Amino acid sequence: MVYSRLPWIFFLLLGIVLPHKLCGSDSSEGPWETHRLQHDPDQNKYLKPESKKVEVFEREGFRFTNGNQPRNPQPQANLHPDKWEGLTGLEEEKRLGLITDVSSEKVSSPQSTWPHRVFGYLKLTFKDLNGEYLTCGGTGFLVGPCHVLTAAHNLFDHEHSYGWATTVLFYPAYHENRAPFSNYYGAALLVPNDWRKEIPGGVSEQEKKRLGDKRRNWDIGMVVLDKSEREEEWIGDKIGWVGILQDNSEDRLQGRPITLSGYPGDKAEASKQIEMWEMTHDIKSVTEETLRYWIDTYPGNSGSPVWSHREDQDLIVGIHSYGSKVPKSPLDPTDPELSYNQATRISRSKFDLIVKWMEHYQPIKDKLKYLIQSLSNNTHSTRHFLLIG
């Protein structure tokens, strides 16, 4: 390339003078697809792929990553980004509201409790088939310095044929229309290739269901966050993140107490405020790819963390993705037609994919060092997220 013949100082000066934004079309970078977002030019980020390995701990029959829990991070903002205007979730789920022995509870101060402060509200914008912009709500949670895990259908929509989200904003510990830790733009959206696959026309209903179920098994996605130049730390370094757990044993998961925390739209509709709610119950059914439970959910809960206390910390075992039709009351676990709400289970292959995502998109703090490093290896420049504000 002609650029390789120019002194690197030229690019340094160019980077200082001209703003760069992460934008463009879909690209495939392994067993996933990356969608790069163009957004507010005041939001800047520089990320280096594969800069360090994520530490994975192995025990007999399960693996996990450690969370990061800084002590007493101080809220630095008190934004009121959204008055309630009937924001809805995209997910194809209905509330399962017939639990009688336990009920969901509002989280009173998520900014000051663990692990709630690393769970957050996702404000999602899509362009519909008429070219109009639609705003939706969902849930996500930090699993790294700039890595938010959520449901894939929050980022790429099949159900309404909207495709990729055009804008994603993450509000950690958002509650009662207040954003105690500000908000952060998504710079890149990641979903598995298996989620992006379209179901071909002309196939039988049985085959359509089989392909649809296979795709739903991969309903996980990641938002790689941007960072404002006004902040010295990435949001995960400041407020923390949770670890993820992959357990090979269905017996060890079956019946284990879990908590689901997120932003159900029905609660917001009732109070006219976006609020964090949660509910604890036990896992009723485990399959190779899913966890099923009788926990109330509603549109807006998609992407919610399903977490359990293991290894002396709170670890994510699944990502809430789908709800069911309301079953008959009372609930009878022996009923073969009984429906459950469900999470996408963090299986071995999904655990590996999430770790690869976190390793591939790592923040780097030394802007000058990274600029020189990336320019000296321009054969891989298309894979670098270089943003100089």
Q: Which residue has the higher pLDDT, 6 or 184?
A: 184
Show the 3-state SS of 339-375: CCEEEEECCHHHHHHHHHHHHHCEECCCHHHHHHHHH
Helix, strand or coil, per DSSP, at residue 210: helix
* 208 token code pair: 């359509």
Query: So what's the pLDDT on residue 365?
Result: 56
pLDDT tens digits along 292-342 = 998 888 888 999 999 999 989 999 999 999 877 555 555 555 555 566 788
Do β-strands 243-247 and 341-345 pair in parallel, antiparallel, or remain unpaired? unpaired
Tokens found for residue 76: 């630095």
Query: 2-383 belongs to which CATH class?
Result: mainly beta
Return the pLDDT at 22. Answer: 29
Distance between CA atoms of 301 and 321, rounded to whole angstroms?
8
Domain ranges of the chain: 2-383
Convert the pLDDT of each residue in 79-133 to its tens digit: 655 554 544 555 544 444 444 345 788 998 999 999 999 999 999 999 999 999 9
Determine the pLDDT at residue 327.
Answer: 52
State the chain's mean pLDDT as an integer: 77
Q: Which residue has the higher pLDDT, 342 or 230?
A: 342
- The residue that leads in pLDDT, 49 or 153, is 153
pLDDT value of position 265? 86
Identify the pLDDT of residue 50: 47
pTM of this structure: 0.80
